[in-house]
Amino acid sequence: MRIVAAHVPPHTTGSGKIGAATRARLGPARLEVDIVVRVLVAYATKMGSNREIAEAIAAVLREHDLEADVRSVRDVRTPDGWDAVVLGSALYAAHWQRDANRFVARNREALAARRVWVFSSGPLDRSLADADLPITPNAAEILAGVPYEGHRTFGGLLRPDAEDVDPQILRTHAVGDFRDWTSIRSWAAAIANALSA
């Protein structure tokens, strides 16, 4: 993102100090400032699958010269210090995790003041994962009042040796990795393009 102000004399730059995330170049008749957008990629996960999706999204954002920090929603009290937020939660019985719910509840106003994208993950069925399911009613209710710019549902991951999983789930659900990394990276690139415009 570049901001150009014409006919700005050097003394208007104050102390002349530029923050680490901002690079300034003074010309004879204009000031050009490249502002690096900071993005929080926050996730709620039970067994780590959603963290890996968040990390993949952040990697793409960095490839587009954005600063991206990956954090568990448990470790982020507030999105202060970030310009945009990508928030994701694993789905269980079509419900977002409680940690994601709590994060939104305590930061609803701050999120509403930022550009926000959200994602869900969980379908253990390739056809469902490829269908880009709409946001679930539960997640939509949690996000009420947060004007997010986009939502995607990605496939989930169920390992045969997963701990803390009801054996009945392993018997009745497909085991495997249903995450489509191409779709994940493509969605992240679209976010990067929107933030860089």
Cα 94 from Cα 75, distance rounded (Å): 24
pLDDT digits (tens, 9 = 90+) for 58-114: 999 999 999 999 999 999 999 999 999 999 999 988 899 999 999 999 999 999 999
Structure tokens at 100: 């994601």
Domains of the chain and CATH, by start: 2-35 (no CATH), 38-196 (3.40.50.360)
The pLDDT tens digits of the residues spanning 139-153 come to: 999 999 999 999 999
Looking at residue 42, what is its pLDDT? 98
Q: Which residues contact 91 (CB under 8 A, 6 or more apart)?
A: 120, 121, 122, 123, 136, 139, 153, 156
Distance CA(191)–CA(110), nearest Å, equals: 19
**CA R_g for the chain:** 20
Q: Would the pLDDT of 9 be above 50?
A: no
At CA 76, angle to CA 197 and CA 110, rounded to 5? 55
Whether 5 contacts 25, CB under 8 Å? no
pTM: 0.77
Q: State the amino acid at position 46 in one-letter form.
A: K
Kindly report the average pLDDT of the chain as a whole number.
81
Contact criterion met (CB below 8 Å) for 157 and 123: no
